[in-house]
């Protein structure tokens, strides 16, 4: 059960850092992780493992049953925003930037990070609520 709480905390941290990175990128600045922004890729992949474990045990319709309604709507908004943000990213010419992930590139990826971390957070939070109700 402790791994589930840790996973929820990591998903929330990843979501906060990806939102911060996105906001900074929209302003043309480096985000909270600076040159380590690329680690949000690794975190997004890593947090999918515990979310998949929880999701495997849930029925598809009940996957988000333990989430408050507002959390589901926030997740849906992040998913829609990821699609719109990526379309804008693909059709906007980018000027070169310094570093591994210059702000325009971070802006393109951060929509996906926000959606992935939000989905993982919702699934894991629902899993915590399910475990509590069973115990």
pLDDT means per 10 residues, the chain with 135 residues, are 91 97 93 92 95 83 87 95 93 72 89 97 91 67
CA–CA separation, 22 and 59 (whole Å): 33
Contact 106, 22 (CB under 8 A): yes
Query: How long, in residues, is the chain?
Result: 135
As given in the structure block, the two tokens for residue 4 are: 């589930």
At 59 the pLDDT is: 73
Contact 16, 122 (CB under 8 A): no
pTM of the shown model? 0.90
Within 10 angstroms of residue 121's Cβ, the number of other Cβ atoms is: 26
Within its chain, how far is the Cα of 84 from the centroid? Answer: 16
């Amino acid at each position: 059960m402790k791994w589930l709480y840790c996973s929820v905390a990591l998903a929330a941290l990843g979501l906060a850092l990806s939102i911060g990175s996105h906001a900074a990128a929209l302003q043309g600045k480096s985000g909270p992780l600076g040159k380590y922004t690329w680690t949000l890729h690794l975190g997004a992949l890593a947090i999918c493992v515990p979310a998949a474990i929880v999701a495997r045990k849930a029925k598809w319709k009940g996957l988000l049953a333990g989430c408050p309604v507002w959390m589901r709507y926030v997740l849906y908004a992040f998913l829609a925003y990821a699609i719109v943000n990526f379309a804008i990213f693909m059709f906007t010419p980018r000027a070169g930037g310094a570093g591994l992930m210059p702000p325009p590139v971070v802006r393109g990826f951060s929509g996906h990070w926000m959606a992935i971390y939000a989905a993982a957070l919702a699934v894991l939070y629902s899993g915590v609520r399910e475990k509590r109700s069973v115990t």
